[in-house]
Each structure stands twice: as C-alpha cells, then as structure tokens.
Amino acid sequence: MEFSREEQHAIIKFFCAKGENCVNIHRELVSICGDSALDYSNVNRWMVKFKKGRVSSTDLPRPGRPSSSRTDANKECVENLILSDHRAAVEDICAHTGLTHGTVMRIIKEDLQMTKLSARWLPKMLDDSKREIRMNCQGIPGGTGN
C-alpha cells in the first residue's frame, strides 16, 4: 500500500503523540510504506515540528514565483500543434509558443500524457498491442500497412 507524504506526516504525528522515538517511528513507517517511506532525516524533522506544537501535517506554501508557463492556454496551444502535426518537433513547438524546451516537454509528457514513437507523438495510454496496430495502419516502415 502506498501512502502520500501528508499521510506519512500524519502517521509520524500519531506516533509522536504516543511518545515513540524517531528510530521506532522510522522503522514503523518503513514496515508500513516500504520503499516509498520518508527517509530518517525527514521523519526526524517532522517529529521535531510536531513536538514544537505543529498541528497541520501538510507542507506550508513556499515563497517564490508560481509557474506561469504551464497555463491551460499554453497546454491547449501545444496540444493543437501536436494534433495538427504528429511529427512536430519540440523545437518547432518552442519557436511557435515562445515556451522553453523543458516547459514544452513537461506539458507533453506530464499534462498531455503523450510519448514520442517513430517521430510521432502518441498518447501514453496506448499499450503495446494498440501501438503495433497503429504503426501498421499508419504505414510506418517495418509495419505491414505500406
């Protein structure tokens, strides 16, 4: 079972309220969460926060400029460019939108859930059999659709 960071913080808060020490709390987290458990230093830091009277188990907002490049309008623009030309290069999309290469890649991979296959952008949700069918239908070299 996988627990989010906030849920792990709540577990730490519970054991801290019971009076457990940091080593035991970390050991319990590892037994509960496995590989996704917070490391010892994070457990210790959160335990100190809770002992000092912290109530919330969520992270506080951090200062800094919020991301303004991954807006809905930019996502829609990138998606329209890809849908109009599945062979669109990231550099061409960057030039057209004025976004950086990293931002365009994050929009494509994380927001649009697409991946590049044989110089074409495809939805990630295609499994291997659907990709094979699509490649054969598109006439990609090596396929039977030529």
Domain for residue 63, yes or no?
Answer: no
Domain for residue 120, yes or no?
Answer: yes
pTM of the model: 0.45
Domain for residue 26, yes or no?
Answer: yes
Dihedral angle at the C-alpha atoms of 80, 85, 89, 93, nearest 10 degrees? Answer: -30
Residues 81 and 117 grouped into a single domain: yes
Span 67-84, mean pLDDT?
A: 88
Of 17, 39, 42, whose CA–CA distance to 30 is shortest?
39
Per-residue pLDDT tens for 97-123?
999 999 999 999 888 888 877 667 766
Residues 47 and 82 grouped into a single domain: no
Domain for residue 66, yes or no?
Answer: no
Show the domain range for 100.
73-138
Alpha helices in the chain (DSSP H): 5-17, 22-33, 40-51, 72-84, 90-97, 101-106, 128-138
Residues 79 and 132 grouped into a single domain: yes
Please tell me the predicted confidence (pLDDT) of residue 23.
94
Question: Looking at residue 12, which CATH number applies to its domain?
Answer: 1.10.10
Residues 79 and 123 grouped into a single domain: yes
- pLDDT of residue 94 exceeding 80, the answer is yes
Domain for residue 58, yes or no?
Answer: no
Q: Are the beta carbons of 27 and 19 closer than 8 angstroms?
A: no
Domain for residue 68, yes or no?
Answer: no
Per-residue pLDDT tens for 17-72?
999 999 999 999 999 888 889 999 999 999 999 999 988 888 777 787 766 788 88
pLDDT band for position 138 (cuts 50, 70, 90): low
Overall number of domains in the chain: 2
Of 93, 92, 86, whose CA–CA distance to 135 is shortest?
86
Residues 47 and 102 grouped into a single domain: no
Distance (Å, whole) CA 143 – CA 121: 17
